[in-house]
Structure 1
Amino acid sequence: MTDKMEDYKEKIAALQEKGELTAETLSLLMEMLDEMAEMNRSNKALRRVILKGQSSSMSTRLRDALYE
């Protein structure tokens, strides 16, 4: 996932250099990239919990997140 995010950042930078992005668009894209990074981190943490075999005693919040 990080390779894709780096590709997105490069594409955004290229568009910004060409002057094809407004400040609002750039702000939105950066916010979306930050959200993707947080989701990626969260997914990795959830996978670690599952791999540790703690799924039988998982919390309601974790179970709900996994079923989404």
Structure 2
Amino acid sequence: MIYIPEPPIPMPDPPIPNPGTVPQPIPGPVPEPIPGPVPEPVPGTIPQTVPGTIPQTIPEPV
């Protein structure tokens, strides 16, 4: 019987860090925009195009 040496045991892979153990930035108090007085358009002051006052290009006499 010829003694055949067993192949060497491969070194185990380095332990992969658990994704859950990675220190993540702790969410702090996020400064939220304070809702201020939003200027709303006052009904009646919206400039609308009055029918008939649309400037049209008048063909000049050649």
TM-score w.r.t. structure 1 length? 0.19
Considering fraction of residues, name the structure with more helix.
1
Q: Who wins on radius of gyration, i.e. which is larger?
A: 2
Tell me which of the two structures has the higher relative contact order, counting C-alpha pairs closer than 8 angstroms and 6 or more residues apart.
1
TM-score w.r.t. structure 2 length? 0.20
